[in-house]
Amino acid sequence: MSPTGFQSPKPVLAIEGLTVSFDGFKAVDNLNLYLDRNEVRVVIGPNGAGKTTVLDLICGKTRATAGSIEFDGRELTKMKEFDIVRAGVGRKFQNPSIYENLSVFENLEMSYPAGRKVFGALFFKRSAEVVARVEEVAAEIGLADQLHDEAGLLSHGQKQWLEIGMLLMQDPALLMLDEPVAGMSVSERLQTAELLKRISQGRSVLVIEHDMEFVKSIAHRVTVLHQGKLLAEGSMDAVQNNPKVIEVYLGH
Amino acid sequence: MKSFFDKLAGSKQGAIGFLILAALILVVFPLTLDAFRLNMVGKYLTYAFVAVGLVLCWGYGGILSLGQGIFFGLGGYCMAMFLKLEASDPESTRIQSTPGIPDFMDWNQLTELPLFWEPFHSFGFTLLAVVAVPVLLAFIVGLAMFKRRVGDVYFSIVTQAIAAILTILIIGQQGLTGGVNGITDLRTLMGWDIRSHEAKTVLYFVGAFLLLACILIGRFILASKLGRLLMAMRDKEERVRFSGYDVASFKIFVFCVAAAFSGIGGALFTLQVGFMSPSFVGIVPSIEMVIFAAVGGRMSLLGAVYGALLVNYGKTVFSESFPELWLYFMGGLFIAVVMYFPNGLAGLYQSHGRKWLARLGRWRPKARRAEPVAARPAPSSTPEPTSPALETTP
């Protein structure tokens, strides 16, 4: 798809020597990974390769045993989860994680970056600015007509989009999506690919995905993980023709 | 955009429910009950403060505290210390070996007032302490637990342990706290005899107004973004955390609010009943308070008040006839509520009461078909609890 081998002088995300071990088992082992501005990177690999763990490490859900994660000049490994979010990292979970009892509007509003502290939330006002931003994002994710429906009533695909929309509300510089098209129909996958292409303008996106057609349609570069280590990295074509990758992953 | 007052009143239905409760406790009870019964209802209402706090922190925040008696007791003890000091003037304690200190201290061979009792000579300090002491303890416990992500059942167990520890501490330090008897023989509040019927009636109204104020504060919190965050945290804590919120700080806040309400309730209890003892602090009263909220409906601020009134009324009636069976009945009630009506009386009203009322509404105009006046919908007046919040939460 896009040109490969392109290296900007300063990556937005620089992961170096990242290691995490759970009782001696190294889920991520001495990993280096660099993500450029405006890049869409897809991480693939067999189950248990450590893909989700890498996202957990970046967003602070899991703490690294060793190594560093530098985002926009800040070291994330020691920061609190909410500070990492406020620094501009948004993360979507594998299962749609939305507030089922609240309306689509309220779900999006919840992620609006104001009133994030106790008293700020207590006296938060739904200003015209907030409403405009919610409507803008709802239009982006195709849920403008469902704004006042209860989120629990949405279809599976719409829930996935809603969670992406909740991340967009924060306008993150780095967007991380864990299997965004899992359980989606073919047409929903196409729409999601279009959505990702639109929203990746002006930000970096890190995606974990198994669906190769989808990966091909969105990835600028692909990183293959195997047993917590980097196996290959490059364009989709290069990775697909890499004998090591075929052996451990694509060949099955 | 909602104005401040809209937030307090909630929906139209919420406003009606609030007015019905206000009319019930401010007009109906005082007019129909004798002084003794009214004082008893006043005592029940002090438990309702705890139940309203539990609706916020348990129903909406998902934090089940089984130790609200701690805060009820702390508020009550703060008030009792002030009243006890006033009752222990040198003149009325002249037969003691050390006049001017509370009688139980004299019995325990104390010869001077302990330092932490000193500030309770001031009524202003006492009023502050009634709220501040419970809130401070809740803040410390909350900070220690929620920052470390101790949640769910572990948190409940810790609160039980603290309730047990506090009871043991109070009983063990007899000379400082009055021990197992508590602080008794309280007489006047700034020279005003609180034992008279008139005083108890006045205190009843003070309690009733404060309870209504607490309900409005609760409504304000629930109508704000913070209220939605509480529910969001209860259901999807990780999502809230990774949307940039410090989840622990919100839990600490709502736990402190519940503690503040409980402390106010405890102080009013001391004033109405005339003493405070460790039997209102420990595990059993704390669990009873959870049952009040559960029976009334843990998602309904108004329901919690009805729950506290009904369960306590039941307790009084039932324990007069079958004192041994009461605890079993209480346990059975809790199990029944949890298994069959998880949203308590308020939930029953939402699922059945409304339909029944609507049917009543349809039936009425038919009966008066001859009248030319257009059928009006039935007045939705009912003493059943109503909750605007329940509509958003199944």
Q: Could you please report the per-residue DSSP string of B224-255? A: SHHHHHHHHHHH-HHHHHTTT--HHHHHHHHH
Residues 6+ apart with CB under 8 A from A2: A220, A221, A235
On whether residue B102 sits in a domain, the answer given is yes
- Name the pLDDT band for B382 (thresholds 50, 70, 90): very low
Contact A145/B at CB under 8 A: no
CA distance B189 to B168: 29
- Tell me, yes or no, whether B37 lies in a domain: yes
Nearest to B1 among A122, A126, A170 (CB): A126
Residues of chain B positioned with their CB less than 8 A from the CB of A93: 238-239, 242
Q: Which fold has domain A1-88+172-252?
A: Rossmann fold (3.40.50)
Q: What percent of chain A has pLDDT over 90?
A: 81
> What is the 8-class DSSP label of residue B381?
-
Q: A110 and B241 in contact by Cβ < 8 A? A: no
Instruction: Indicate which of A59, A63, A82, A175 best probes the interface with B, i.e. most B CBs within 10 Å of its own CB.
Output: A82
Q: CB–CB of B235/B393 below 8 Å?
A: no
- Interface residue A95 vs chain B (CB under 8 A): no
Q: What is the ipTM of this complex?
A: 0.91
Terminal alpha carbon distance of chain A: 24
For chain B, give the mean pLDDT: 87
Domain residues for B76?
A: 4-346
Segment A24-33 mean pLDDT: 92
| Separation between Cα atoms, residue B65 and residue B49, nearest integer Å | 14
CA distances from B15 to B219, B221, B227, B387 (A): 11, 16, 18, 9
* Closest residue by Cα to residue B211 from B267, B276, B289: B267
Question: Closest Cα of chain B to A145: distance in Å?
Answer: 20
CB atoms within 10 A of CB B368: 10
- B2, B225, B240: best to mutate for the A interface, most A CBs within 10 A: B225
Provide the token pair at B124: 């202003």
Share of chain B above pLDDT 90, in %: 68
Q: Is A186 on the interface with B (CB under 8 A)?
A: no
Could you tell me if A80 lies within 8 Å of chain B, comparing CB atoms? yes
Q: Which of B228, B235, B249 sits opposite A100 (nearest CB)?
A: B235
To the nearest 10 degrees (0 to 180), the angle between helices B225-235 and B197-223 is 70
Across residues B252-266, what is the average pLDDT?
98
> Is A117 touching B (CB cutoff 8 A)?
yes
Q: What angle do CA B26, B28, B33 make, to 5 degrees?
A: 105
Give me the pLDDT at residue B329, please: 84
Strands annotated E in A4-128? 13-22, 25-35, 40-44, 66-71, 74-75, 89-92
Read off the pLDDT band of B345 (50, 70, 90): confident
CATH number at residue B323: 1.10.3470
Of all residues in chain B, the one with the smallest CA distance to A101 is B393
Pairing state between β A25-35 and B188-189 = unpaired
* Cβ distance of A93 and B238 shorter than 8 Å: yes
Q: What is residue B377's predicted lDDT score, i.e. its pLDDT?
A: 40
- Say whether A122 and B245 touch across the interface (CB within 8 A): no
Q: Is residue B379 part of a domain?
A: no
Residue of B nearest to A97 (CA): B239
CB nearest to B242's CB, from A91, A109, A113: A91
CB atoms within 10 A of CB B5: 9
- The DSSP element (H or E) to which A248 belongs, if any, is none
Residue A100: name the closest of A157, A172, A154 by CA. A154
Q: Is B246 within 8 Å of A82 when comparing Cβ atoms?
A: yes
**Cα(B322)–Cα(B310) distance, integer angstroms:** 17
Q: Measured between CB atoms, which of A97, A98, A118 is closest to B249?
A: A118
CA A164 – CA A79 distance, rounded (Å)? 23
Using beta carbons and an 8 Å cutoff, which residues of B are at the interface with A? 1-2, 221, 224-226, 228-229, 231-232, 235-236, 238-247, 249-250, 253, 392-394
> What does the pLDDT average to over A231-248?
90
Q: What is the pLDDT of residue B7?
A: 59
Domain count, chain B: 1
CB neighbour list of residue B272: distance below 8 Å, 6 or more residues apart = B39, B42, B43, B46, B200, B203, B204, B207
Please give the pLDDT value at position B360. 74
Query: Would you state the pLDDT for residue B240?
Result: 95
* B372 part of a folded domain: no
Q: In which residue are the tokens 């196409």 written?
A: A190
Q: What is the pTM of this model?
A: 0.89
**Least CA distance to B249: which residue of chain A?**
A118
Taking the CA of residue A114 and the nearest CA in chain B, the distance in Å comes to 10
How far B355 CA lies from chain A's nearest CA (Å)? 23
Question: What residues pair up with A90 in beta bridges, in sequence order?
Answer: A175
B127, amino acid identity: L
The DSSP letter of residue A103 is B
Domains of chain A by residue range: 1-88+172-252, 100-170
Cβ separation A122–B221 shorter than 8 A: yes
Which candidate from B226, B236, B242 shows the least CB-CB separation from A59?
B242
**Of residues B319 and A211, which shows the higher confidence score?**
A211
Q: Nearest Cβ partner of B243 from A61, A127, A166?
A: A166
Please give the Cα distance from B50 to B266 (Å, whole number): 9
The answer to whether A172 touches A202, Cβ cutoff 8 Å, is no
Nearest CA in chain B to A103: B392
Given an 8 Å threshold on Cβ–Cβ distance, is B224 in contact with A121? yes
B67-114 pLDDT per residue, tens: 999 999 999 999 999 999 999 999 888 999 989 899 999 999 999 999
For β-strands B188-189 and A229-234, DSSP reports them as: unpaired
A121-142 per-position pLDDT tens digit: 999 999 999 999 999 999 999 9
In a domain, B367, yes or no: no
The residues facing B113 across adjacent strands are: none
C-alpha to C-alpha distance for B311 and B295, rounded to whole angstroms? 8
Question: Collapsing DSSP states into helix, strand and coil, what is residue B180?
Answer: helix
Chain B interface, best mutation among A117, A148, A159, A160, by max B CB count within 10 A = A117
Residue A192, C-beta contacts closer than 8 angstroms, at least 6 positions apart: A157, A160, A161, A180, A181, A184, A214
Q: Chain A: residue nearest B221 by CA? A: A122
Residues of B within 8 A of A122 (CB-CB) are: 221, 224-226
Give the model confidence (pLDDT) of B125-176 as tens digits.
Answer: 999 999 999 999 999 999 999 999 998 899 999 999 999 999 999 999 999 9
Nearest to A59 by CA among B234, B243, B233, B148: B243
Q: Which residues 5-64 of A have a C-beta within 8 angstroms of B?
A: 59, 61
Residue B179 zone, left/alpha/beta (φ > 0; ψ -120 to 50; rest): left
Greater confidence (B330 vs A46) lies with A46
DSSP classification of residue A40: E
- Which is it for strands B188-189 and B192-193: parallel, antiparallel or unpaired? antiparallel
- The alpha carbon of residue B54 is apart from the nearest alpha carbon of chain A, in Å, by 19
- Does B336 have pLDDT greater than 50? yes
Which residue is associated with the tokens 């509003």?
A: A109
Q: How far is B335 from chain A (nearest CA, A)?
A: 26
- Candidates A86, A111, A137, A169, partner chain B, best to mutate (most B CBs within 10 A): A111
Residue A252's pLDDT is 55
